[in-house]
Amino acid sequence: MHNPQLNRHGELQHLLTLEGLPKAIINRILDTAASFVSVSDREVKKVPLMRGKSVFNLFFENSTRTRTTFEIASKRLSADVINLNISASSTAKGESLLDTIDNLAAMHADMFVVRHAQSGAPYLIARHLTATGQDHVHVVNAGDGRHAHPTQGLLDMYTIRHYKKDFSNLTVAIVGDILHSRVARSDIHGLTTLGVPEVRAIGPRTLLPGGLEQMGVRVFTDMNEGLKDVDVIIMLRLQNERMTGALLPSAQEYFKSYGLTPERLALAQPDAIVMHPGPMNRGVEIDSAVADGAQAVILPQVTFGIAVRMAVMSMLAAA
Amino acid sequence: MHNPQLNRHGELQHLLTLEGLPKAIINRILDTAASFVSVSDREVKKVPLMRGKSVFNLFFENSTRTRTTFEIASKRLSADVINLNISASSTAKGESLLDTIDNLAAMHADMFVVRHAQSGAPYLIARHLTATGQDHVHVVNAGDGRHAHPTQGLLDMYTIRHYKKDFSNLTVAIVGDILHSRVARSDIHGLTTLGVPEVRAIGPRTLLPGGLEQMGVRVFTDMNEGLKDVDVIIMLRLQNERMTGALLPSAQEYFKSYGLTPERLALAQPDAIVMHPGPMNRGVEIDSAVADGAQAVILPQVTFGIAVRMAVMSMLAAA
Amino acid sequence: MHNPQLNRHGELQHLLTLEGLPKAIINRILDTAASFVSVSDREVKKVPLMRGKSVFNLFFENSTRTRTTFEIASKRLSADVINLNISASSTAKGESLLDTIDNLAAMHADMFVVRHAQSGAPYLIARHLTATGQDHVHVVNAGDGRHAHPTQGLLDMYTIRHYKKDFSNLTVAIVGDILHSRVARSDIHGLTTLGVPEVRAIGPRTLLPGGLEQMGVRVFTDMNEGLKDVDVIIMLRLQNERMTGALLPSAQEYFKSYGLTPERLALAQPDAIVMHPGPMNRGVEIDSAVADGAQAVILPQVTFGIAVRMAVMSMLAAA
């Protein structure tokens, strides 16, 4: 089957998911990102790679943080950025999603950065653009439902590569609400594609999805067991709605069983790094002593995230 | 009487309405727009005509779609754009409209793009700027009440000229809620100024304003009759509030009498084009088979709309 | 004690308050602003001083007007601007203020323009950045609680200097709700630092804070007395909530006692200027005849405000 993310020359046409994305493409994104990390340190942080290109941030679901990272990445590439909070506009007037897309494409858009509460929405948009011959418009999935968050997955890969150099001898643990997490899903696909021999999922049974073993993941419900000797710990944010819902007794209970404390961190390798996609719930999934500690690489993740998004966008724009 | 849209050299000072706008000015806007259509196809879609100019999008009434087209047009002209949703700001603090305008003009604004629910608001602003000697600020009406939507009218003229070349032998039908439509009003003024010999208005009696005949428009309440042999069909959006109000029985009833179906379209000239200002209500005023059919030029209208707005803004900035 | 606004070379590192800001720094800001006033008159109103720099407008409290002035100033300095309405985002997700700040700093922000309902919030942010070695990020206080609004204070100083040349022989009256006014506080600090021999505060006893005399201010509850022979009148906006609250009988009563009418203005020096930070309540604190009269310099204040903000931002960016 044809991979909808690649064009006929095998170049990245859309970024929708890390599932099935060739290892060579992922590596090329990470290599390109490395060149942009230094751009952000320069006096003038701009490169003209996307000058005159129009990037539309189509956020059907609100996310100031993610929207901001894409807005900064676009501006550092010299693109023009248009922010559209779509829930508040055409959809309210009863226009269909694809009519909205066709309209924006007719304005000579070059890229849609799409955030949507519904899994598969960016894929639907990409397929429609291809079906209607609008190949000049590229789609970046900025998070769709519980499905995927590929740029977060890529920045996590970049961070691991930066600190650990080699993926081929790592044990990586993902901890928390795996069930509802598009970040976890994208990380698992990235890690297995890049050859990580052991990926672990740690969480209460109610927050672990089925099928993890088939994805090559070892499942733990006991955190102390799961953290043993790991090289990388990826903490997930516990959504507030889970804490008040039926899936968990309370935030305090959760912290007691799955909060990352200095004591628990000591079970991992001494040089293990601690990651978190943010925003953090201090005292719920992570202790402040760990969040602010020497092993945390949470803020470097943010910095790398800008470079990774610049890499993805500039590669798409050149395809 | 002096035309408030022109300065003493006869150049465009403000764009408020197509009513009374000289044919030569309209043609110059359309010619200028033609040069910008090709800009949007280039690799770098920017021209430096408004570099360093400050454009304020003053939207007293929310309209993401129209605001977006002006924002794109401004950025492709290299202007700086400031989006202001005014209802949420100073007006809430009790400041008068003209105090707000004076304040923004004092920030060395170059252009106000004004959308307002009240007919005449952009005219009021333009007159105030002239009266107070602030001639460096230009006003573009982006839709005021039921009164006018001149850039939509101009992009409709551009579209017709693009497909039909000559206005002097055309029959053009405007279909739907003429009564509440600023688009219809601007189209009628544009068409008559450009010499279209027959302009028709088609709609239920409750949605037809008085005075159409005096504007040189032939009125039809029977759609089949009205569409006979026309060269151009301009469908209007049926606002949701009309469908639930007292003016119409139901959306289904409306579609039965005034929806544009393939059968009805067959009554027009075989090469007739179908236009719509968007967003469309599929199945209410227009059948999907027509909206997506070979005679529809609805998406080209959007593309031309950017070029027309670039033309208007660059001409004003140069005046 | 070390002044947190200055770096170790004595340059402006943050702008948090006019209290304690050295006279030499204030004068340098005003001198720099003078050079930018002419930029705004040029055909191309941009200078490349902040090209590639990222300015974040962090508005924890909504203020379209102030946000707009900083956005324009940033764009005229060629900076990239990101507007963040923080109340609606991460704070809602339970992230702490300083985590948000660290995240944005990790995106290689260069400047935070901070508006916050809580007094001291910009100071807290600046101190945190210094404590964590993030000296590449500069903070501008765009208004915090009742505490300070230093750029408004500076533009008021610029305006007075522009019209009166010399501070050393002036009598300046500030009229209205001094108690709740950060503008008043910043003006008082600016005026005393610049050597104004007589600063007066005029208002009803319920709206006058304690401690004014210790700041070197003469207090008047009778407006006619207070205005006698003054050179500069700074009117304050009466917040709507005061008028309905317990502190004042009614807007009409207030106007009778403290509204600036032409008759009252005649008590001041014949060449006295009238200032107001806007937005004005005409007929509450100021009569329209005065607001639109020959002695009002309210719109020039707005123009100078852009230049003053450009001066502050470019000096910080160069520190």
Q: Which residues in chain B have Cβ-Cβ distances shorter than 8 Å to A86? A: 64
The pLDDT of residue A64: 87
Contact check, Cβ <8 Å, C103/A41: no
The ipTM of this complex is 0.93
The pLDDT of residue A190: 98
The pLDDT of residue C1: 46
Mean pLDDT over each residue of chain A, to the nearest integer: 93
CB pairs under 8 A between A and C: 70
Contact check, Cβ <8 Å, A52/B72: no
Contact check, Cβ <8 Å, C107/A43: no
Give the pair of three-digit tokens for residue B52.
Answer: 């360093």
For C107, which of A41, A43, A306 is closest by C-beta distance?
A: A306
**Pairing between strand B217-220 and C273-275?**
unpaired
The pLDDT of residue A93: 57
Q: Which residues in chain A have Cβ-Cβ distances shorter than 8 Å to C89? A: 62, 64-65
Residues near A192 by Cβ (< 8 Å), separated by ≥ 6?
A: A199, A215, A216
Minimum mean pLDDT among A84-88, A121-125, B135-139, C288-292: which range? A84-88
pLDDT below 50 — which residues of chain C? 1, 92
Minimum mean pLDDT among A12-26, A72-86, A206-220, A241-255: which range? A241-255
Which residues of chain A are at the B interface, by a Cβ-Cβ cutoff of 8 Å?
51-54, 80, 82, 84-86, 88-90, 93-96, 99-100, 102-108
Query: How sure is the predictor about A3, in pLDDT bands with cuts at 50, 70 and 90?
Result: confident
Cβ density class C120-139: b for 16+ within 10 Å, e for less: bbbbbbbebbbeeeeeebbb
Using the predicted structure, report yes or no on whether residue A161 has a pLDDT greater than 70.
yes
pLDDT below 50 — which residues of chain B? 1, 92
The pLDDT of residue B1: 46
Give the separation between CA A150 and CA A159, rounded to whole angstroms: 14
Closest-CA residue in chain C for B80? C75
Cα of B52 to nearest chain C Cα, Å: 4
Using the predicted structure, report yes or no on whether residue A89 has a pLDDT greater than 60.
no
Query: How sure is the predictor about A85, in pLDDT bands with cuts at 50, 70 and 90?
Result: confident
CA atoms within 13 A on the CB side of A270: 0
A-interface mutation test, from B49, B51, B63, B68, most A Cβ less than 10 A away = B68
Q: Which residues in chain C have Cβ-Cβ distances shorter than 8 Å to A69? A: 107
Backbone angles phi, psi at A136, to 5 degrees: -80, -10
Cα of C69 to nearest chain B Cα, Å: 8
Give the separation between CA B108 and CA B79, rounded to whole angstroms: 13
The pLDDT of residue A44: 79
Query: Which subunits have 3 or more CB–CB pairs within 8 Å of chain B?
Result: A, C
Give the separation between CA C263 and CA A68, rounded to whole angstroms: 53
Burial class (CB in 10 A: 0-12, 13-18, 19+), C294: exposed
Contact check, Cβ <8 Å, A102/B299: yes
Contact check, Cβ <8 Å, C52/A43: yes
The 10 Å Cβ neighbour count of residue B146 is 16
Contact check, Cβ <8 Å, C62/B88: yes
Give the pair of three-digit tokens for residue B183.
Answer: 């688009």
- Contact A289/A269 with Cβ under 8 angstroms? no
Point out which residues pair with A83 in neighbouring strands.
Answer: A57
Give the separation between CA A1 and CA C169, rounded to whole angstroms: 84
Largest CA distance in chain C: 57
- Contact A268/A296 with Cβ under 8 angstroms? no
Closest-CA residue in chain B for A132? B292
Contact check, Cβ <8 Å, C299/B82: no
The pLDDT of residue B41: 75
Query: Which subunits have 3 or more CB–CB pairs within 8 Å of chain C?
Result: A, B
Backbone angles phi, psi at B103, to 5 degrees: -60, -45
Give the pair of three-digit tokens for residue C31.
Answer: 């001198």
Q: DSSP letters along C220-282, please?
A: ES-HHHHHTT-SEEEE----HHHHHSSS-S-HHHHHHHH-B-HHHHTTS-TT-EEE--S---B
The pLDDT of residue B265: 98
